[in-house]
A and B are shown apart, each in its own frame.
Chain A
Amino acid sequence: MRMGDFKQTYAADEAVFRSGTVRFWLVVLFLAIAAFPFMVGPYLLYMANLTGVAIIAAVGLNILTGAAGQISLGHAAFVGIGAYTSAILTTKLGLPFLLCLPLSGLSAAFFGVIVGAPSMRMKGLYLCIATLAAQVIFDFIFVHWTSVTGGIRGINVPSAELFGYKLDTEFKLYFVTIPIMIAAVTAARNLFRTRVGRAFIAIRDRDISAELMGINLFQYKLYAFAASSFYAGVAGCLQVYLLRIVTPEHFPLHESIRYLAMIIVGGLGSVLGSIFGAIFMTMVPEALQSGLALFQGLDDKLMSYLFPLQTVVFGLLIVVFLVFEPHGLAEMWRRVKNYFRLWPFEH
């Protein structure tokens, strides 16, 4: 049980992990994350890596859409730009992984700023359509600029190399992807402790009074686009090395919508929510599929009905979640935590 926690310095009061109990569980979590790859097989590790990539991308989208309130339907395109950048830099220029990673982020951020430029004049749904245009245009470029992107066959990429180690197994990739994910999440959480993060939320909540408070709206909207697509670019780079191939099929419009679903299910504007949402959207379809595998061999006809049903169940789960907890999984988590704060003496 946690008793009233009193702080003596402002630094202690503003810490993200505010009490010994919280810090204890954080250490437990980190130990569990470190021990995980030694206990499971390559398939689960592959899923964990994909989830890590999804978390990075979702955190990025949540900075732009959840916090700064600029709805984007083009997030997958930015992940794609990051992916293609690293694939091209690796195969054509032979750049090492450590250099490709930031360069993928930067090139995605560069295009993010260009796509974000209409936000000077447009808001809400109108801006949303502008980002949709970006999604379609980049998708078109991925497919048709064959000499650079390899067209629909894409680009095959060799394993990444880090300090002489070949990252050729899921096990090794795990120890690259997950630390980068943790660093990305930490940075996002830090962002919201400073004036930049506050300015984003102010723009979302009430842009006119934000401007009267001295915030340059256009500058900060572009910051949000840049930060968000930088995250997407990094996620794209990691995804290339996980899949060892990049094709346009990895970044369609419905992938953008999947990222939006992640942050809505997880909790808009919440870094923790992006993590929950990314895990939910990546793992639940897998769980449904393995649940389905239990019925395998019972009856082929039954299976042919059950198989499409998993999509229906997944959609239903999302709807049910949103009806009962419109603020997302992060809010649910907060309520559970509050319950245990005084447990077992609730009253």
Chain B
Amino acid sequence: MAAQPILSVEGISLSFGGLTVLSEMSFQVNPGEIFAIIGPNGAGKTSILNCIGGFYRPSAGRILFQGEDITRMSPDRRAARGLARTFQNIALFRGMTVLDNIKLGAHAHLKTGLASALMYWGPAHREEMALRDRVETQVIDFLEIEPIRKQAVGSLAYGLQKRVELARALAMEPKVLLMDEPVAGMNAEETEDMARFVLDIKEERDVTIVLIEHDMNVIMDISDRVMVVNFGQKIAEGTPEEVQHHPEVIKAYLGEKKG
């Protein structure tokens, strides 16, 4: 293995009451790769992302991001360090326009405080204009959502809402992007667009992507490495081809052969 891993999960365990969700899960994500996590429903995939994002605190183990221990850090400080997240069930701010949602993603990169926000003219205005410029050229243009930028997010079609969520995450200028089922519920064309965007993000922006997905075609096409989890444990890890033929994986998905 070449470089130091950008994200390293070391033996994390998580349980809710008596229910064990994750037990001693370990894996490493290398800079610049697309790392996919797959597994049957309820295997603990989203819980892994929630631990990395800071929404859950694991009961044991630790999580290193760029060599720094972030296990006990609050979610907002993790975000400021370069961890972005998209959600399985869209979590956009429905009271805002597309543009404001995207701008909100850049929150941690801005400096305007309460007092200068009330004054507006001067530093706050300059910062807002620079932000608009950056958001337009680097995010809106890139994801091809110019026509909808002034619309309220609630009125958009599902596939577009997912794209706006990706846009908001990109405005965070993340180093690692955690994506929870980016193509779930999308038609073939939308899926293709999303897969293309994910690849472009990885190649053009040097963003490492950790992805949960059920669409096996997408997984096999775009990911560099795949980890398979079942019942909160890692059962396999490797390239898409290796994983596909792994006996444990076949067992988890299809069941055992009789006799």
**In the complex, A194→B129 CA distance in Å?**
10
A216 to B208, CA, bound (A): 25
Tell me if B103 and A227 are in contact (CB < 8 A): no
User: Interface extent on A, as a size class?
Assistant: 20 to 34
Asked whether, in the complex, the Cβ of B87 is within 8 Å of the Cβ of A209, the reply is yes
Choice from A194, A201, A208 contacting B96 with Cβ under 8 Å: A201
- The answer to the question of A172 belonging to the interface, with a C-beta cut-off of 8 Å to chain B, is no
B80 in the interface, Cβ–Cβ < 8 Å?
yes
- Say yes or no for A191: interface residue by CB 8 A criterion: yes
Which B residues are in CB contact (< 8 Å) with A226? Answer: 114
Interface pair B119/A187, CB less than 8 Å apart: yes
With A194-B117, A214-B76 already in contact, the answer to whether A206 and B91 are too (CB < 8 A) is: yes
Kindly identify, within residues 73 to 106 of chain B, every residue whose CB is under 8 Å from any CB belonging to chain A.
Answer: 74-77, 79-80, 85, 87, 91-96, 100, 103-106
Which residues from A are CB-within-8-Å of B91? 206, 208-209
Output the nearest chain B residue to A184 by Cβ-Cβ distance.
Answer: B118
Is A298's beta carbon under 8 Å from chain B?
Answer: no
Judge whether B132 is part of the interface by a CB distance below 8 angstroms. Answer: yes
Q: Is the CB of B132 within 8 A of A10?
A: yes
In the complex, A114 Cα to B79 Cα: how many Å?
28
Is A244 an interface residue when CB atoms closer than 8 A count as contact? Answer: no
A197 to B114, CA, bound (A): 9
Residue A323 is within 8 A (CB to CB) of chain B in the complex: no
CB of B190, distance to nearest CB on chain A (Å): 22
Complex CA gap A32/B53 in Å reads 54
Chain B residues near A14 (CB, 8 Å)? 128-129, 132
Which residue in B75, B93, B119, B128 is a CB contact (below 8 Å) of A212?
B75
A194/B76 contact (C-beta < 8 A), A14-B129, A201-B95, A213-B104 known: no
Question: How many interface residues does chain B have, given as a range?
Answer: 35 or more
By DSSP majority rule, is chain B's interface helix, strand, loop, or mixed? helix
Which of A206, A209, A213 has the most B CB atoms < 10 Å from its CB? Answer: A213
A198-B104 in contact (CB<8A): yes
Q: Is A215 an interface residue (CB 8 A)?
A: yes
A213 near B105 with CB under 8 A, answer yes
Min CB gap B2→A, angstroms: 30
Which residues of B are found within 8 Å of A10, using beta-carbon distances? Answer: 129, 132-133, 136
Residue A223 CB within 8 A of the other chain: yes
Given A202-B104, A209-B87, the answer on whether A190 and B129 have CB atoms closer than 8 Å is no
Whether B103 lies near A196 (C-beta < 8 A) is no
Q: Are A196 and B113 interface neighbours, CB within 8 A?
A: yes
State whether A205 and B128 are in contact (beta carbons under 8 Å apart), knowing that A196-B114, A198-B100, A214-B79 are contacts in the complex: no
Contact A212–B96 (Cβ < 8 Å): no
Q: Say if the beta carbon of B34 comes within 8 Å of chain A.
A: no
For chain B, residues 206 to 242, give those with C-beta under 8 angstroms from any C-beta of chain A.
none
Docked complex Cα distance between A116 and B166 (Å): 33
| Residue B175 is within 8 A (CB to CB) of chain A in the complex | no
A108 to chain B, nearest CB (A): 15
Instruction: Determine the distance from Cα of A196 to Cα of B112 in the docked complex, in whole angstroms.
Output: 7
**B124 A190 Cβ-Cβ under 8 A:** yes
In this complex, the member of A198, A217, A227 whose beta carbon has the largest number of chain B beta carbons within 10 angstroms is: A198
Knowing A10-B132, A190-B118, A199-B104, say if A211 contacts B76 (CB, 8 Å): yes
**Cα(A193)–Cα(B114), bound, Å:** 12
Q: Whose C-beta in chain B lies nearest to the C-beta of A13?
A: B132
A213/B107 contact (C-beta < 8 A), A194-B128, A202-B93, A205-B96 known? yes
Closest Cβ–Cβ distance, residue A70 to chain B (whole Å): 15
Instruction: Point out the residues of chain A lying under 8 angstroms from B94, CB to CB.
Output: 205-206
In the bound complex, how far is the Cα of B116 from the Cα of A205, in angstroms?
24
- Bound CA–CA A193/B55 (angstroms): 29
Cα A47 to Cα B211 with chains together (Å): 61
Assess whether A250 is interfacial by the CB under 8 Å rule: no
The minimal Cβ–Cβ distance linking A179 to chain B, given in whole angstroms, is: 16
CB of A301 within 8 Å of the partner chain: no
**Taking the nearest CB of chain B, how far is it from the CB of A295, in angstroms?**
45
Which residues 13-39 of A have a CB within 8 angstroms of B? 13-14
Q: Tell whether B120 is near chain A: CB-to-CB under 8 Å.
A: yes
With contacts A205-B94, A211-B75, A214-B79 taken as known, whether A190 is within 8 angstroms of B104 at the C-beta atoms is no
Given A10-B133, A214-B80, verify A195-B107 contact (CB < 8 Å): yes
Q: Are B76 and A217 in contact (CB under 8 A)?
A: yes
* 29 sample A-B contacts, Cβ–Cβ < 8 Å, listed by A number: A10-B132, A10-B133, A11-B129, A13-B132, A187-B118, A190-B119, A191-B118, A194-B112, A195-B117, A196-B112, A201-B95, A202-B93, A202-B104, A206-B91, A208-B91, A211-B75, A211-B76, A212-B53, A213-B104, A213-B105, A213-B108, A213-B172, A214-B77, A214-B79, A214-B80, A214-B108, A216-B74, A217-B76, A269-B95
With A210-B104, A215-B107 given, can you name 14 additional A-B contacts, CB distance below 8 Å? Answer: A10-B132, A187-B119, A188-B118, A190-B120, A191-B117, A191-B120, A194-B128, A195-B103, A199-B107, A205-B95, A212-B55, A214-B80, A217-B76, A227-B118
Residues of B at the A interface (CB closer than 8 Å) are 53-55, 74-77, 79-80, 85, 87, 91-96, 100, 103-108, 110, 112-114, 116-120, 124-125, 127-129, 132-133, 136, 168, 172
The 8 A-B pairs of least Cβ separation, nearest first, read A190-B120, A214-B108, A214-B79, A209-B91, A205-B93, A194-B117, A187-B118, A196-B117
Q: Give me the interface of A with B, judged by CB distance under 8 Å.
A: 10-11, 13-14, 187-188, 190-191, 193-199, 201-202, 204-206, 208-217, 223, 226-227, 269
